[in-house]
Amino acid sequence: LQQLEMESNGKSVQRGGQKVELDTCPIVWGEVGPNAQHAFYQLLHQGTQAVSCDFIAPVQRYNADHFTYVENAEALIEQHHLALSNCLAQSRLLAFGNEALDTKELENLPIHKQYEGNQPSSTLLLKELNPYSLGM
């Protein structure tokens, strides 16, 4: 999705050489689940500016019935469930901040690790990730 949007549509000059007079595409970046934790979630949750973001996640692992490595199928499904849970938790935390946390957890959380909430985001769940679900 990043490559489709930013590389294909992120141009400032048209094919004929004319300068583009409008914004051509959004900034699309991301990572899977906890890989993004320190890369940009910090900015989204605790930064000084509101940054609107979209969470896009497949509910089912792509081609879940046909694993290349059958012996790893169970672990891959569990990994997908953890990534999906992380996506939903991040979205909820952006929306509700500290109110999304357990009271006991919040009691021991230092002020610099707390969450204000009310950050703009959308969560889009796809049945599965495939070319059709991405609009191709």
pLDDT at 90: 92
Asked if residues 50 and 120 have their Cβ atoms less than 8 Å apart, the reply is yes
Question: What percent of the chain has a predicted confidence (pLDDT) above 70?
Answer: 89
Q: Token pair of 81, please?
A: 């469930």
Question: What percent of the chain has a predicted confidence (pLDDT) above 90?
Answer: 28
Tens digits of residue pLDDT in 31-51: 776 777 666 787 788 888 888
pLDDT category, 65, cuts 50, 70, 90? low
Tell me the pTM.
Answer: 0.73
Instruction: State the SS3 of the chain.
Output: CHHHHHHHHCCCECCCCCECCCCCCCCCCCCCHHHHHHHHHHHHHHCCCCCCEEEEEEEECCCCCCCCCHHHHHHHHHHHHHHHHHHHHHHHHHHHHHHHCCHHHHHCCCHHHCCCCCCCEEEEEEEECCCCCCCC
pLDDT at 62: 65
Non-local (6+) Cβ contacts of 53 within 8 A are 44, 94, 120, 121, 122
